[in-house]
A = this chain, B = another copy of it.
Amino acid sequence: MKIRINRKELAKHIQIVQKAISARTTMQILEGIMLKAENNTLTLTATDTEISIRTKLSCIVEEEGQLVIHSRLFGDIVRKLNNDLIDIKVENYNMNLRCGESIFNISTQNAEDYPDLPRIDEYKKLTMSASEIKNIVKKTTFAVSQDETRIIFTGVLMDIKKDYINFVALDGFRMAIQKIEKEVDFETSIIIPSRSLNELVKILEDDYDVEIHISRNNIVFSFNNTVFYSTLLSGEFFNYNGLLRDNHDITCDVKKSEFQSAVERASLLAREDRANLIKLNIEDSSIEIKSNSEIGDVFEKVQTSNVNENLKIAFNSKYILDGVKILENEDILLNFTDSVNPLIITESEDDSYIYLVLPVRLAG
């Protein structure tokens, strides 16, 4: 292989595929990036077998070829070089890399030993914008389960119906649902590992459409000369619709920033050894928030519209804060039923996002 390539472009594409390199791999070849040069194009591929990324960029190919090179070392070298152009020549598993006054020789591995990317035969197809995907990931992945023994709940459900898609994450204490209006010509449900979604958004830029292909075992995102593959999780997800109800006895409208900062302050005394317990007392036109520990107690008060019923209810403040923090609207609704049913948090002007938190039942 012999190529001449723009350094900054190469650095950018190395960074893209590095999102598929796991720090914890035990297979040495998976610490590498596969490079393939042909038709004046360099193709970079990396995989940890769950996430795979392939990306292409133009370069001058004087001699075709392919190889595997250590990802971190190659990335560090290209990033730290000074000149605009890099000349790369590979012979006998040695990569000779020249840029300005710098000369590197690095051993490479055989591209034949590199695993194949997933084959996507039968698939279903839809399109979403990159900014839509970023919003979905921000609103859902934080709520997935951290418990690796119930692996499907570490993923985000993508529940595709004829005219909308629900993205659902839950961990047994809270649930986040982002709904997207979209006409699709098929219905299906898949579970995407949340790690894949979090890595995907790191390489998405805001201004293009993303083609999505869904096969039996994989989801593939294509954009901007890059293809991002993720395996899917298989298993039965939770019937999340059963948790939702429309008729709430008590609906409080509050200012997001006021409510959030009051809960944050109350949390200062709701220490972790007490499960971050805060107590809400809803009465007339205010929500009183209390918490205490050995060292002291705190009372906060947030204004709301007049409510006709009183309610005392307790929560783990972390779960409330996680969901409130990511809301963009300043006007939000807290929908309560009673002290044992979930609190459902929504934005006043936009019903596409639902965040649900289970209360903590207090003894007595």
Residues of A whose CB lies within 8 Å of any CB of B are: 70, 73, 76-77, 80-82, 94-95, 101-107, 261-262, 264-265, 268-269, 294-302
Kindly report which residue of chain B lies nearest to residue A300, judged by CB atoms.
B102
Q: Which residues of the other chain, B, contact A300 by a CB distance below 8 angstroms?
A: 101-103
Across the interface, A268 reaches (CB within 8 A) one of B77, B261, B295, namely B77
Q: Which residues of the other chain, B, contact A269 by a CB distance below 8 angstroms?
A: 73, 104
Q: Among A76, A102, A294, A296, which residue has the most Cβ atoms of chain B within 10 A?
A: A296
Q: Could you tell me if A104 and B296 are in contact, using CB atoms closer than 8 angstroms?
A: yes
Q: Could you tell me if A101 and B298 are in contact, using CB atoms closer than 8 angstroms?
A: no
Across the interface, A76 reaches (CB within 8 A) one of B81, B268, B301, namely B268
Q: Could you tell me if A299 and B102 are in contact, using CB atoms closer than 8 angstroms?
A: yes
Q: Could you tell me if B264 and A297 are in contact, using CB atoms closer than 8 angstroms?
A: no
With A82-B261, A261-B82, A265-B81 in contact, is A106–B299 under 8 Å at CB?
no
With A73-B268, A268-B73 in contact, is A299–B80 under 8 Å at CB?
no
Q: Could you tell me if A296 and B106 are in contact, using CB atoms closer than 8 angstroms?
A: yes
Q: Which residues of the other chain, B, contact A103 by a CB distance below 8 angstroms?
A: 298-300
Query: Measured between alpha carbons, how far is A269 from B72 in the docked complex, in Å?
Result: 12
Q: Which residues of the other chain, B, contact A106 by a CB distance below 8 angstroms?
A: 295-296
Q: Which residues of the other chain, B, contact A104 by a CB distance below 8 angstroms?
A: 265, 269, 296-299
Q: Could you tell me if B261 and A80 are in contact, using CB atoms closer than 8 angstroms?
A: yes
CB distance from A125 to the nearest CB of B (A): 42
Query: Measured between alpha carbons, how far is A262 from B77 in the docked complex, in Å?
Result: 11
Kindly report which residue of chain B lies nearest to residue A101, judged by CB atoms.
B301
CB distance from A292 to the nearest CB of B (A): 9
Q: Could you tell me if B102 and A295 are in contact, using CB atoms closer than 8 angstroms?
A: no
Q: Could you tell me if B107 and A295 are in contact, using CB atoms closer than 8 angstroms?
A: yes
Q: Which residues of the other chain, B, contact A295 by a CB distance below 8 angstroms?
A: 70, 73, 106-107
Q: Could you tell me if A80 and B264 are in contact, using CB atoms closer than 8 angstroms?
A: yes
CB distance from A261 to the nearest CB of B (A): 6
Q: Which residues of the other chain, B, contact A262 by a CB distance below 8 angstroms?
A: 101-102
Query: Measured between alpha carbons, how far is A354 from B273 in the docked complex, in Å?
Result: 52
Kindly report which residue of chain B lies nearest to residue A265, judged by CB atoms.
B80
Query: Measured between alpha carbons, how far is A294 from B73 in the docked complex, in Å?
Result: 13
CB distance from A208 to the nearest CB of B (A): 34
Query: Measured between alpha carbons, how far is A77 from B298 in the docked complex, in Å?
Result: 10
The 8 closest A-B pairs by CB, nearest first: A106-B296, A101-B301, A103-B299, A105-B296, A104-B298, A80-B265, A105-B297, A76-B268
Query: Measured between alpha carbons, how far is A264 from B81 in the docked complex, in Å?
Result: 10
Query: Measured between alpha carbons, how far is A69 from B65 in the docked complex, in Å?
Result: 68
Query: Measured between alpha carbons, how far is A110 from B215 in the docked complex, in Å?
Result: 68
